[in-house]
């Protein structure tokens, strides 16, 4: 029994489409491998390590090294296609410097475009049932944001609902929060505030960009993170420059 012309055409289209999809898949995998090989080579030339892994729906690049006496680990994660991940960020870049800045409680500088530093002061300072409900919801959202930006391991160590705005300090491009507001205010006046201001005014510093990273200061480290993938080694170098630069702002800081 012969095959009809229509069936033959449909079969041909199916074969061509399948072959095209396979070809594009191989091409994409080849491009990905070439990019990863380039990053690995660039990292090796600088004395850094580079590794890749796929887990939790993400393809993650991990770099580690030491710069000016500061050991660090950086991650660049890309959300893979497929699956129900509406609440996940597509790209995440993190830098963690192993540096003890001499603080006892976390300080967070939330990077925002300059001029957008004003928070919901009315909600934050309000009273009554609805105000408390709004404060609770905002705290939960902030806690989730800390997990996303800096990673679940670090996020589990920080109760974002305990963080309060540092009203005594102002840095254009940042909203300043701390668990211990008095300590946070003191640390800022001792050098961190000026370091952040200087960084935001330096056009070569990643902290000067409109989508500037968030900064987290903990007793055992300094971290930077933003919703953007590291695609080139010079982008990682910008994170390193900004992070290592901030370590110099702490009077009693030392390698962790």
- What pLDDT digit, counting tens, does each position of 142-170 carry? 888 899 899 989 999 998 888 888 988 88
Domain locations in the chain as residue ranges: 1-45, 47-255
Q: For residue 122, what pLDDT is reported?
A: 43
Beta-strand runs (E) in 68-160: 70-79, 91-97, 99-100, 107-111
Q: How far is CA 79 from CA 143, 181, 237, in A?
A: 21, 36, 23
Q: For residue 182, what pLDDT is reported?
A: 95
Instruction: Give 208's DSSP letter.
Output: G
Q: How far is CA 94 from CA 146, 187, 211, 235, in A?
A: 12, 23, 14, 11
CA dist 86 and 83 (Å) reads 9
Which residues in the chain come in under a pLDDT of 70? 1-33, 81-89, 119-139
Q: For residue 90, what pLDDT is reported?
A: 77
Q: For residue 6, what pLDDT is reported?
A: 65
Specify which residues 51 forms β-bridges with.
Answer: 62
CA dist 113 and 131 (Å) reads 27
Q: For residue 125, what pLDDT is reported?
A: 45
Q: For residue 124, what pLDDT is reported?
A: 46
CA dist 185 and 105 (Å) reads 12
Give yes or no for a contact between 250 and 192, defined as CB atoms under 8 angstroms apart. yes
pTM, two decimal places: 0.80
Q: For residue 161, what pLDDT is reported?
A: 82
Q: For residue 79, what pLDDT is reported?
A: 84
Q: For residue 149, what pLDDT is reported?
A: 93
């Amino acid at each position: 029994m012969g095959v009809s012309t229509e069936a033959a055409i449909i079969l041909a289209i199916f074969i061509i489409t399948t072959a095209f999809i396979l070809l594009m898949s191989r091409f994409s995998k080849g491009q990905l491998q070439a990019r990863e090989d380039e990053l690995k080579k660039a990292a090796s030339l600088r004395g850094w390590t580079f590794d890749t892994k796929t887990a939790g729906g993400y393809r993650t690049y991990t770099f580690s090294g030491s710069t000016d006496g500061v050991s660090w680990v950086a991650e660049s994660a890309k959300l893979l296609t497929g699956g129900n991940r509406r609440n996940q960020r597509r790209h995440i870049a993190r830098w963690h410097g192993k540096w003890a800045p001499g603080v006892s409680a976390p300080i967070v500088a939330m990077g925002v475009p300059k001029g957008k530093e004003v928070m919901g002061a009315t909600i934050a300072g309000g009273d009554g049932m609805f105000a408390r409900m709004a404060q609770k919801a905002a705290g939960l959202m902030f806690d989730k944001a800390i997990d996303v930006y800096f990673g679940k391991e670090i996020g589990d160590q920080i109760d974002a609902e305990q963080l309060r705005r540092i009203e005594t300090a102002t840095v254009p491009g940042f909203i300043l929060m701390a668990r211990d507001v008095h300590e946070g205010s003191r640390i800022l006046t001792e050098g961190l505030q000026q370091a952040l201001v200087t960084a935001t005014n330096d056009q070569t510093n990643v902290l000067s960009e409109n989508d500037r990273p968030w900064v987290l200061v903990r007793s055992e480290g300094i971290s930077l993170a933003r919703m953007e993938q590291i695609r080139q080694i010079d982008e990682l170098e910008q994170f390193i420059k900004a992070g290592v630069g901030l370590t110099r702002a702490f009077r009693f800081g030392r390698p962790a």
